[in-house]
Amino acid sequence: MESRITHFCLINDFFDIDFKSDYISKLLKIDVDAILVLNSFIDPHDWILTFNANYNNGRTLLVSKNKLGSYKADKVKEITIVIPIPSIDVVVWGVKNESYIYIM
C-alpha cells in the first residue's frame, strides 16, 4: 500500500510564510508508512492511502457527511484531516482575518 500526504489551504499566502509543506509531508509519510507496516496494512493490490491536510479558519470544518473519499475501482482511500488555523485576534501566530478564503 502506498501512502500520500497532500495539503489544501483555504488561507491566502499561508504557505508562503515560513510554512514548509514538503518537509511536513516527508515527516508524516515516514510515520504513516511505519504504522502501515506495523499493522500489516501492506497490501499487494496497489491500494493508495491519501491523507489530505485541509487548512482553514476552523469555523466550518468543510467535511462531507457522505461517504466520499473511497474509490474501490481506483483502489484509493482518501482521508481528510481538517487543521484549523486561528485568527491573529486569537493568537499572535494566527493569520489576518482577510486572509481566509472561506469565511462563515
pLDDT digits (tens, 9 = 90+) for 40-92: 666 656 778 888 888 888 665 655 444 455 656 777 788 888 888 888 888 88
Instruction: Give the CA diameter of the chain.
Output: 49
Contact yes or no for 95/14 (Cβ under 8 A): yes
Beta strands 70-71 and 48-56, pairing class: unpaired
Amino acid at 35: I
Q: Is 103 a residue whose pLDDT tops 80? A: no
Q: Is 6 a residue whose pLDDT tops 70? A: yes
Which DSSP symbol is given to 16? T
pLDDT score of 61: 60
CA–CA gap between residue 71 and residue 78 (Å, rounded): 8
